[in-house]
Structure 1
Amino acid sequence: MEKMLLKIENIYYDYKENNDLLPVLAEINISVKRGEFICIIGPSGCGKSTLFNILVGLEKPDKGRIFLKGEDITGTRGHIAYMPQRDLLFPWRTVMENVLLGVEIKKENLQKAYQEAEKLIPLFGLKGFENHYPDQLSGGMRQRAALLRTVLTHNDILALDEPFGALDALTRTTMQEWILSIQEKLDKTILFITHDIEEAILLADRIIILNGRPGRITDKLKIDLQPPRCRTDKVFVDYREKLLERLSAEDDFNKNTETSRRE
């Protein structure tokens, strides 16, 4: 049996405010193989971003454990690279200064990181823009700079929280194709949050559906499509309909459950 790179085991998390507890996540179990591209989809408020915060050590679960290469990393930082929804580039730093920020914070060898960044800059479509500032870049270029900063942390797993959500449709399509090529060239494992069903089918080896309050994994779907994937392909359309049906069914169940509780 293939050894898992990452195991998320029975995670529970409650949001605490004063003396009140709001259940956010329950019974979250995910196993990830090296080199997989996994998309997590679900409606707003189901705990997707909270799950990532727990995964990268920004929050600690109330119950459950996270294992990376067999090591318990629950509640600790620095093991999984994280890129939030916004690029968070500092406007007063150049592209090169921004991509080296993580290395500076970790107090690693800056000269070595600079040399590595120089080699990766063309691959990330930023050649000639090293000394530009964020407000001089397009939306797609800002996201590529933020992703390069994430890659330079040298973690095996990248956790990307809706990285293309704020981009226009044309740029988003270009970025979707680009990130697949980057994953293959850099041999990374990617966990990717999205609201976009088609984006998930285009990118993922597996799709995990998170739904409800508290958020639970309600379904997992393996995408058996060879690249390049086409949105108009019959099998692609079938996957889309299947996911829409499963998400709608869960949404109706959640609404009925909430109504029953009120009654």
Structure 2
Amino acid sequence: PANITAGTVSITQDTTLITGDATAAAAWPDDIPIDEGWFIRLGTPWYRVVSRGALTLTLATPYTESTISSGTYILKHREFALPRAVKRLGIFSHQRYSATMYPKPLHAIILADPARTIVDGGPQTVVDLGSGIDGRKLIEVYPGSSTPETLDYVYWSTAEHLQAHDPLPQTLDASQLEEGVKINAYEWLGNRAASAGQWDGAQIYFNLRDRQRTIWEAYKRDLIRQDGAIDDLTFVTQHARRAESRDIRTAEDYVWAKPLS
């Protein structure tokens, strides 16, 4: 969504309640959940907004700058929660700019622009923020825009839980899974032998169960490594540049666009 700047707001230093005029309140979204990543700026720092009232916004932390009366502001939707199926992010594309972006870690944007000073111009950087409070993957899109923007992205989805009747994925070795099933089989045989008073036989089965647990743990580690290797082989190759664009918009773009001599 586009940045919101309509109307004026007032706030007292060391408080968390922002009061807006009727014009500002009419432009604010109806609901601002804490996990949706809305931020407001009245000077230099950005403050996270955790809720809204009829004419008010509540900040997550006290406002530390000078008291403001009927001042201007920028309200920005900065963080976005992606669908629950998203496990790993690939490339992002902004078709209007014909640009591509690869997710960066949070420390990269903090080092580059800790105050998020650019507030317009459209998406140039996507930041992977990890998981939110509800477990969904969070991203930050920077900078903002005065108009709504659309980003497409590639992602690897979280595998669904397999049911008894579901076919196994082609990359999963059934013989390895059988090693895990043997644990339950030895457990069942040992309990049956113990119930029949066959204590020596029961002890043999329980020893086999314990041995099988060790074998199964080793197989699980192999399966995890195998799954990670497949991801690495099929995942989009990471690129060192921030974005690919046909336009020269920054000094970095100029350097990359200049032919080597």
Normalising by the smaller structure, the TM-score range is under 0.3
TM-score scaled to structure 2, two decimals?
0.23
TM-score scaled to structure 1, two decimals?
0.23
**Greater CA radius of gyration, 1 or 2?**
2
Structure with the bigger RCO (C-alpha within 8 Å, sep 6+) is: 1
Which structure shows the higher helix fraction? 1
